[in-house]
Structure 1
């Protein structure tokens, strides 16, 4: 079962992919990237300097104990990361 959150998170990346993130004051280490996809905004909502992409990662990550599955999103227009969903 998954739960929706939409919480802002701090993310460390390597080669553009998340390797660690902080969510609710806990540091999670990404063990595996399960999926990665990109969604482009509609062309009329973009500018020449901002393609307006949203990049998604579904990852297995752990704060040191049990591993869970998490969906992360990076919004290029706002330069921010969100934790969208977590699976038990």
Structure 2
């Protein structure tokens, strides 16, 4: 079962991919990237001249509480990261 969040997170990058992130004051080490995809933002729905793109990562990550699967999103226009979804 998955849960939707949309929480801002802090992410560290290594070799052009997320290596670890902090969510709700816990550090998660990414063990495996399961999937990665990119979606171009719809320019007609933004006021920016460069609407950027959204980069998604489905990862297996662990903290002291165990291992889970998480979906992360990076927005190139804002430079911000979100944790979108988590699976138990």
* TM-score > 0.5 by shorter chain: yes
TM-score computed with the length of structure 1 as normaliser: 0.90
How far the C-alpha of 1:65 sits from its partner, in A, is 4.4
RMSD: 1.3
Aligned mates of 2:20, 2:13 — CA distance in 1: 7
Q: Deviations over 1:25-80 (max 9, x none)?
A: 00000000000000001243452xx3510000000000134210000000011100
Match of 1:13? Answer: 13
Please say if 1:58 is aligned against 2:42. no
- Unaligned stretches of 5+ residues in structure 1: none
Match of 1:81? Answer: 81
TM-score computed with the length of structure 2 as normaliser: 0.90
Runs of 4+ with >6 A deviation = none
